Structure 1
Amino acid sequence: MDRAGVNAICAGFPGADVSDPWGGGHDAWKVGGKMFACIGAMGDGVSVKTDSIETAQLVIEAGHGIKAPYFHRSWVRLPWGMVEDAEVEERLRTSYALIRAGLTKKAQAALAPFTP
């Protein structure tokens, strides 16, 4: 997986949009104004949200990710080539679903349906 692949997947999620909030070439994917995936300026992987600190730690211990710099401990960085493309896509879908579920009911209702 690479930046283009991640961006193609994220662009398909209902209501998802990308911005570069810090400048310098970041791809911060958001839904309802809340970030669910981020590719840093170095472009060496994508950071995603997990459902808990424990899940993030399990991903790291399994060798499928690393600590996501500058993010809460429930986030992990998936470096390019460390895991299969299917797992990256699944983690993107999960991260999107987690963030979407945290939006207000009104914001969620304004989005097209999504099946994780």
Structure 2
Amino acid sequence: MTQASLHLTLRAMSRDTVNTICAALPGADWSEPFGPGHDVWKVGDKIFAAIGAQGTGVSVKTPDVETAQMLIDAGVGVKAPYFHKSWIHLPLDAETEELRHRITASYDLIRASLTKKAQAALAPRA
């Protein structure tokens, strides 16, 4: 296997990993609102995770701008392109548990921002 094909294989596996993590969350819906190749995950019609067509990483919400900046300063991620400053962009080759933690934290933040009625319609998160 060449270095280039290994890199593409790792990227594909990581995109699949992110999508698997997102799909397991109650009420999570996948769509491509920005066109083919953009994996966008929503709960209650609000985005909690997004992978761009270039597949360089996954963008997730943090509680606030300060948390996002702290994570950027710590080298966990970078500023998420096209999103508010409270979002970060994690590389797809990050550790699976780090991806799971950041994705579920983003999901929990977005889910908590939904109306009480919308929250009640969702299955509990295990």
TM-score with structure 2 length normalisation?
Answer: 0.87
Partner of 2:109: 98
Question: Where do residues 1-16 of structure 1 align in structure 2 (5 Å cutoff)?
Answer: 2-16=14-28
Alignment size in residue pairs: 114
Q: Which runs of 4+ in 1 moved over 3 A?
A: none
Structure with greater helix share of residues: 2
Gaps of 5+ in 1: none
Question: Where do residues 32-47 of structure 1 align in structure 2 (5 Å cutoff)?
Answer: 32-47=44-59
Partner of 1:108: 119
Using the aligned pairs only, state the percent identity: 63
Gaps of 5+ in 2: 1-12
Q: How far is 1:33 from its partner? A: 0.2
Which protein is bigger by CA-based radius of gyration?
Answer: 2
2:88 is paired with a residue whose SS is strand
- The letter of the residue matching 2:52 is G
- The letter of the residue matching 2:107 is Y
Deviations, residues 45-64 of structure 1 (Å, cap 9, x unaligned): 10000000000000000001
Q: How far is 1:108 from its partner? A: 0.2
- The letter of the residue matching 1:22 is F
TM-score with structure 1 length normalisation?
Answer: 0.95
